[in-house]
Chains A and B, each alone.
Chain A
Amino acid sequence: GDSVTQMQGQVTLSEDDFLFINCTYSTTWYPTLFWYVQYPGEGPQLLLKVTTANNKGISRGFEATYDKGTTSFHLQKASVQESDSAVYYCVLGDRDSNNRIFFGDGTQLVVKP
């Protein structure tokens, strides 16, 4: 079945550090991949989405490439700010999932000033 794996439970950085959050996925079809971000006290919100293999999504300085070869969708940002502190979820949906989406376990990003 469909699944998403985020190995890092928490990442702690200082402002202006480079961010890399690992995400790999498993599916038998051609998924759409998302990154959602959840700030404290709020529901998740879409950060970026990529529907086509080998394409890159870019939003608010974040980027992720849908790599079909390595089944990965890692999230990167060149220079993080304290306001980026949140939980980041890698999410997958595909036609075999009955139109449901599947969330990874999330990565808590803590950015120190």
Chain B
Amino acid sequence: NSKVIQTPRYLVKGQGQKAKMRCIPEKGHPVVFWYQQNKNNEFKFLINFQNQEVLQQIDMTEKRFSAECPSNSPCSLEIQSSEAGDSALYLCASSLSRTYYAEQFFGPGTRLTVL
């Protein structure tokens, strides 16, 4: 069972609308990742944080996507103006370490449908 909590589990938006999803990482994990998983099961890295600081983000994220991990609050990923191509499962993962060999613990995801 996932210890990473993601809300909501399902999100339906119209094109151009904002879509916001939240993630509570596993307790004690300072590193948080966001991935987009499309219907073909392909994973795309979006952004990661260590505590409140952004470590890396892809170009797509810099334009319409915004994310934050404030202290003592859930992390969030927001799409400012949703497009049909954004329909996907958004997975949040947390880890004890930012290193490539550390296990990542995934939540169940938020399934976004953009009509």
- A residues lining the B interface (CB < 8 Å): 31-32, 34, 41-46, 49, 51, 87, 89, 93-95, 97-101, 103, 105-106
Q: In whole angstroms, what is the CA distance A87 to B40 when docked?
A: 11
Binary contact readout B51-67 vs A (1 if CB under 8 angstroms, 0 otherwise): 00001100000000000
User: B73 on the interface (CB 8 Å rule)?
Assistant: no
- B residues lining the A interface (CB < 8 Å): 2, 4, 40-43, 45, 55-56, 91, 93, 98-101, 103-109
Q: In whole angstroms, what is the CA distance A41 to B89 when docked?
A: 10
Residue contact B103 to A46, C-beta cutoff 8 Å: yes
Chain B positions within 8 Å of A45 at CB level: 2, 105-106
Residue contact A106 to B104, C-beta cutoff 8 Å: no
Known: A43-B108, A43-B109, A103-B43. A93 touches B103 (CB 8 A): no
Residue contact B107 to A93, C-beta cutoff 8 Å: no
A105 to chain B, nearest CB (A): 6
Chain A positions within 8 Å of B106 at CB level: 42-45
Residue contact B93 to A95, C-beta cutoff 8 Å: no
